[in-house]
């Protein structure tokens, strides 16, 4: 498989080059040259296949022959070595729980897949690769855990000071070894801009790549969730919709890629908090990025979502075609808390703020009688302990490994400017 830059001013590259480069030299995101639908009989008999086989077949064309089949199968197996259950919430609504991985967040899948691909590509390389990543919350912990101890790879994580939860911060600042955390005075967009600038700075004397969802190896495997959910539901429900809590839009974009591969998903809903760049675009047709605003669903505090251009590319930048497959709605913190309370009262289910925003997306879309809506529960409620406990007036049991994590000492380096980041990288 070959990949081109969505800015169309950079060389065509292989999967390996796209993974190692992270971002194209023209600052564009890489995108596959071809998307070949999977065989119809495979989709129609999805429940006859293991999750490992489904994931392997979904990802194989995007890797090509650059990783041997047995190695790729092993990578896939290790990537998805936990559960992805759809839990019934209401008659026609379910929660796809994506928090059963090691860091209790959906980003474990992408981080684990990318870490193993990069480890394979770098095994014969004497030069160390530096993974430089910005996080608005869960990416940092998932990347830190996924790459911990990977030979020849150093990880540097930028996160906005005071704008991630305590547990999220401990997950990315306490591991040590090859993981370093940089605490940035600013918001996520500032962190992301620093990362993008570093990629294009010829004055930085190390090999950089990114583990944000801008990297194809982080973005592509997220489509596995949708296959696994569809496998659980399609024999009972004909019309299936997904409402995805969306910040940088990599997750929902991967779902829409799964749809292009032949998964018959009826509609996608991008549910956001008050950072409403995409909902406004869907109303007005004008894409106008703006500074992000802090919310209780902090992993979605993104004012200029990088992956939305990939969604547009999937629809050849045809706005009318996009509207038939995709909707986007924005919700306030007050509405989010109200949804958390109603879900708990009506279903005895504890949703984190991001899952609650996804639930609101389904409510706003007004499901028909023959439709089944799935919202993505992207993180365990314990990762947003203060918000969940205060909203529900309920004490949440903290898993033992999280209790151990909380006791660990935070280690981070504070920076304010890109110049400080560059100096750090060149030390």
Identify the burial level of 206 via C-beta atoms within 10 angstroms of its C-beta, where 0-12 means exposed, 13-18 middle and 19 or more buried: middle
β-strand pairing of 239-245 with 371-377: parallel
Give which of 276, 254, 271 is closest to 263, Cα–Cα. 254
**383 among known catalytic residues:** no
Active-site option among 2, 40, 91, 107: 107
398 φ/ψ sector (left φ>0, alpha ψ -120 to 50, else beta):
beta
Residues in the chain: 427
Strands (E), 191-316: 207-209, 239-245, 267-272
241 bridge partner residues: 267, 373
413 Rama sector, left if φ>0, alpha if ψ -120 to 50, beta otherwise: beta
CB 381 within 8 A of CB 150: no
Percent of the chain that is helix, strand, coil (3-state, to 5): 45, 15, 40
Sign of CA dihedral 366, 372, 377, 378: negative
Residue found under tokens 């696994």:
228
Instruction: List the structure tokens of 297.
Output: 């669903």
Q: Are 251 and 306 in contact (CB under 8 A)?
A: no
- Which residue blocks in 68-137 are alpha helix, DSSP H? 69-79, 107-121
Query: Could you tell me the CA-to-CA distances from 36 to 13, 112, 198, 260, 296 in Å, in that order?
Result: 18, 25, 34, 8, 39
Residues serving a catalytic function are 107
């Amino acid at each position: 498989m070959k990949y081109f830059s969505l800015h169309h001013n950079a060389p065509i590259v292989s999967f390996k080059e796209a993974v190692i480069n992270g971002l194209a030299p023209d600052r564009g995101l890489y995108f596959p040259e071809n998307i070949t639908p999977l065989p119809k009989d495979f989709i129609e008999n999805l429940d006859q296949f293991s999750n490992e086989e489904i994931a392997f077949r979904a990802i194989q064309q995007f890797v090509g022959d650059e990783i041997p089949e047995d190695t790729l199968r092993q990578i896939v197996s290790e990537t998805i070595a936990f559960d992805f259950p759809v839990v019934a919430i209401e008659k026609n609504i379910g929660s796809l729980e994506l928090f059963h991985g090691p860091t209790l967040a959906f980003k474990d899948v992408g981080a684990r897949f990318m870490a193993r691909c990069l480890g394979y590509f770098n095994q014969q390389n004497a030069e160390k690769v530096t993974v430089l990543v910005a996080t608005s919350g869960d990416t940092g912990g998932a990347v830190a855990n996924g790459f911990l101890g990977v030979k020849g790879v150093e990880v540097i994580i930028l996160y906005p000071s005071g704008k991630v939860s305590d547990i999220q911060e401990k997950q990315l600042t306490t591991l040590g070894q090859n993981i370093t955390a940089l605490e940035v005075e600013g918001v996520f967009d500032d962190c992301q801009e620093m990362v993008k600038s570093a990629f294009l700075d010829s004055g930085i004397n190390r090999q950089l790549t990114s583990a944000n969802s801008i990297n194809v190896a982080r973005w592509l495997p997220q489509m596995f969730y949708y296959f696994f959910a569809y496998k659980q539901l399609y024999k009972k429900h004909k019309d299936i919709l997904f409402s995805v809590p969306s910040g940088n839009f990599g997750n929902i974009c991967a779902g829409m890629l799964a749809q292009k591969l032949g998964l018959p998903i009826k509609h996608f809903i991008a549910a956001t908090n008050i950072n409403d760049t995409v909902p406004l675009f869907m109303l007005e047709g004008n894409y106008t990025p703006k500074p992000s605003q802090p919310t209780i669903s902090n992993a979605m505090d993104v004012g200029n979502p990088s992956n939305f251009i990939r969604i547009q590319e999937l629809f050849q930048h045809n706005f009318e075609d996009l509207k038939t497959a995709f909707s986007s709605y924005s919700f306030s913190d007050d509405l989010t808390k109200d949804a958390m309370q109603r879900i708990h009262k009506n279903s005895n289910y504890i949703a984190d703020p991001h899952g609650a925003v996804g639930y609101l997306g389904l409510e706003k879309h007004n499901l028909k009688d023959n439709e089944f809506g799935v919202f993505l529960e992207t993180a365990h409620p314990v990762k947003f302990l203060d918000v969940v406990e205060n909203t529900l007036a309920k004490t949440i049991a903290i898993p033992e490994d999280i209790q151990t994590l909380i006791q660990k000492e935070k280690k981070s380096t504070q920076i304010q400017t890109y110049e400080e980041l560059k100096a750090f990288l060149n030390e």
